[in-house]
Chain A
């Protein structure tokens, strides 16, 4: 009789995806079939051998590059909507990208401009990532501040700040802890009603502070974007003057087709 159905059950068992009654059936079959017992043991050692192969590092870190909203001449326009490019591209690699685009060896001026383009892209990508992370942190404080204010109102002696406070920006945290301290001091001399009111004010001020922080993050990102964008456009214009964009790849869809 063929043991095929047992083979599938063996894999299910090794993956911990076997139903109890299937498991019982498989166990009883293994008790009587030496061939399948051997198969199961071999599957395990083979799988373990395969897993000894460590993952490799990708040759380049990829960074997401969006095409700017405004029309950009030359290279960027030829790239379509968005591309992933290796990050930290040094002069050699930046030049190599241009070779792919232009199909010939760039002269020193082109190489220099390509390096500038790569550096600007890196800077832009880093700024975008930093802004995303800051936004994530600030959004996380939204849930943290309300309980903090309530805690201060309910138990003035409880000085320990909630764990989420540790995630706040340093200025916000200092401000929050100071405010909680004030509340605690106040609670010793004032009545609960007054305290709840103060806690409410505290929550409102914190929300205001957070909005301010978010605005700052956005403002900073916009500055970097504007600055790098202007530089990118002018660098590309200089590049276009040296190498006419006619040779750049047309209609290559979502990404640059290097070959």
Chain B
């Protein structure tokens, strides 16, 4: 007999701190996969997984609907991913300023940066020789808001309506992001022989 998320949450809030281990055990794999597919990095995903669970524990009393523990956890992890992205971008800005001061032309380095910023570089898609690798690379080229919607829908099993609620974004916006995200994914997968194989109806 499995205790529901809500049941475990109320036990933790009632002082049975050990019950949080059962919640963590239940959610760490989906949470890790969400973070991995969103960030594209194993270590970063593991970090986010750890930190999101720690934060969830610290703020558990703020969770309004305990049965929605999973959605809440994804929302926490997503906000952390966004914060990290912002911090990274700030670092890049600072360092280009420093370079300019030091007499280096920052634009000479932008060729490499464009790749990370979501430019569709066909070369590395063509090189991928298995589906996971191809999807991993292609997902990283999507704009963040399309990527999070696609990851939640295709891998975490949420519908567009549920994603809108989770991300607190209008449902029409989420559906449009999913539509254009899937369109871009199709275009990118089509550049690779394996991808083409999987796109056959």
A residues near B (Cβ < 8 Å) are 4, 7-8, 10-12, 15-17, 39, 41-64, 66, 81-85, 125, 128-129, 131-133, 135-136, 140, 167, 221, 254-255, 258
Contacts and interface: CB of A to CB of B under 8 A. Distances in A.
B154 A50 contact: yes
B135 A53 contact: yes
A66 B15 CA distance: 13
Those 3 A-B pairs whose CB atoms lie nearest each other, nearest first: A128-B18, A15-B159, A11-B175
Interface residues of B, number: 55
Given A43-B179, A62-B53, 9 more contacts: A12-B175, A45-B199, A47-B153, A62-B28, A84-B49, A129-B25, A135-B16, A255-B50, A255-B51
Contacts of B42: 59
Contacts of A39: 183
Nearest to B130: A53
Interface stretch (B54-62, B87-95, B96-104, B113-121): B54-62
A53 B18 contact: no
A82 B24 CA distance: 13
A55 B33 contact: yes
Interface in B1-44: 1, 3, 11, 16-22, 24-25, 28-30, 32-33, 36, 42
A129 B18 contact: yes
A64 B56 CA distance: 12
A8 B179 CA distance: 7
A42 B185 CA distance: 11
Contacts of A129: 18, 21-22, 25
Contacts of B136: 53
B77 interface: no
B194 to A, nearest CB: 10
Interface in B159-196: 159-161, 172, 175-176, 178-179, 182-183, 185-186, 189, 195
B139 to A, nearest CB: 9
B112 interface: no
Contacts of A45: 186, 199-201
A63 B175 contact: no
A132 B182 contact: no
Nearest to B197: A49
Given A45-B199, A64-B57, A50 B150 contact: yes
Contacts of B36: 56
Nearest to B161: A17
Contacts of A8: 172, 175-176, 179
B46 interface: yes
5 contacts: A45-B199, A50-B155, A53-B155, A64-B20, A84-B49
Nearest to A83: B54
